[in-house]
Amino acid sequence: METAKLTLRGKEYDLPVSEGTEGEVSIDIAALRSKSGAITMDPGYGNTGSCSSAITFIDGEQGILRYRGYAIEELAEKSTFIEVAYLLIYGQLPNTTELSSFKDTVTRHSLIHEDLRKMIEMYPSSAHPMGVLSAMISSLTAFYPAENYNSNVETNIARLIAKIQTISAFFYKRSVGQPRVYPRNDLSYTGNLLNMMFSVPSENYHVSAILEDALDKLLILHADHEQNCSTSTVRMVGSSHANIFATMSAGIDALWGPLHGGANQEVITMLEHIRDDGQDYKKYMELAKNKNSGFKLMGFGHRVYKNFDPRAKILKAAADRVLNTLGIQDPLLDIAQNLERIALEDSYFVERKLYPNVDFYSGIIYKAMGIPISMFTVMFAIGRLPGWIAQWKELTSESNLRIYRPRQVYTGENVRPYIPIEQR
């Protein structure tokens, strides 16, 4: 057993060292506190592994992203979202029978209970869709009560993947004052989502193959990303043996944050602001470099990718393709490409390795597809759900699953006597 030596206050401790299948080295500190009384400190967990996982591998320096060993570039080009969902959750690419059965099961669960539909329709049309989605996913427990956290897992997995898009589309229709459109069993997963969102009774809506392919690619690219903020939240909540619906609802809430999944919405808001400010993108590049400005270049930077986000590279090509095919001239794309060009040359960004991330181009594609900005993070959640489910399944399958309970270093007051109010 390889070990790492730690010397602390004159004592030496041997800590076990292990290595993953891609050569990642970790130091096991599980016994450190009991042996030395000390804990480690790593605010934001930037250097701390919470688990071993066989689902997704990222190499931030090389810009590598693989789901169950398959390169994201191959999956984006050759697979489909529903097949990638199966791969992430069950660990292997499905054969024809397995894929057909999985698709059929998901399709069969795409309807939501009419009482859930009524709950969606009780929300103000101006409500943010992520708040509605989180509440409705958690509310699935009212219709499918789980005796315990791992009962009826396979059916609940299908229910979640199927119903997240119906819930999302139903509320979208409410937000634009149009009648809801029920799911159709003859459409693909992504085609169903587009149809539920954009078809209207007065028109014979046809799902565009270009948009169906672009959206399917977007969902594939968002499907998992190892232990990011929302996935770590899912593991945290899942470790308490909360049921799968409550656990996924927590993931949605974490993803909503503008520094995480909410960034795609913020990217467009930022680009529109720059457009309305005379397209003066150089001014905003300078603001982004000024700590006191409070302005961040949304869609840039990443905790892990320190050269490029492979998803951004794929999405940049997809954005060009979608806009060219649809004949859309979007000044926001021009501004985005100017921001990217400058960032790739400017020392502030180069030194800090701040490159476009997945959110930088996804918002532009969603916008070109007619998806409203308030629904961008919902699309991210629909894509990320299979990843959350796969990570939750891996966590809850552990024989020695323990509730997550990090430690802290207390920096508050030392013990002091209570003082009656008249003496304060």
Q: Can you give the binding site for ligand SDX, defined by CB under 6 A?
A: 225, 228, 259-261, 263, 288, 296-304, 352, 354, 357-359
CA angle 86, 87, 89 (to 5 degrees): 65
Alpha carbon 417 to its chain's center: 47
Which residues, 6 or more positions from 326, have their beta carbon under 8 angstroms from its beta carbon? 210, 368
- Could you tell me the smallest distance in angstroms from the CB atom of residue 41 to ligand SDX? 16
**Do 202 and 412 meet the contact criterion of CB atoms below 8 Å apart?**
no
- Could you tell me the smallest distance in angstroms from the CB atom of residue 349 to ligand SDX? 8
Cβ closest to ligand SDX, residue 230 vs residue 239: 230
Cβ closest to ligand SDX, residue 58 vs residue 112: 58
- Could you tell me the smallest distance in angstroms from the CB atom of residue 284 to ligand SDX? 10
Backbone angles phi, psi at 359, to 5 degrees: -80, -15
- Could you tell me the smallest distance in angstroms from the CB atom of residue 218 to ligand SDX? 12
- The helix/strand/coil state of 97 is helix
Cβ closest to ligand SDX, residue 109 vs residue 225: 225
Look up 302 and say whether it is catalytic.
yes
- Amino acid present at 393: K
List the helix and strand counts (H, then E) for the chain: 18, 6
Active-site residue (options: 109, 128, 302, 309): 302
**Do 193 and 111 meet the contact criterion of CB atoms below 8 Å apart?**
no
- Could you tell me the smallest distance in angstroms from the CB atom of residue 358 to ligand SDX? 5
- Give CA–CA dist 156/390, Å, rounded: 13
Cβ closest to ligand SDX, residue 196 vs residue 234: 234
Tell me the sheet residues that pair with 71. 66
- Token output for 268: 């467009």
- Token output for 49: 């592994």
Active-site residue (options: 216, 224, 309, 359): 359
Cβ closest to ligand SDX, residue 184 vs residue 353: 353
Q: Which residue is nearest to ligand SDX (CB)?
A: 301
Residues tagged active-site: 302, 359
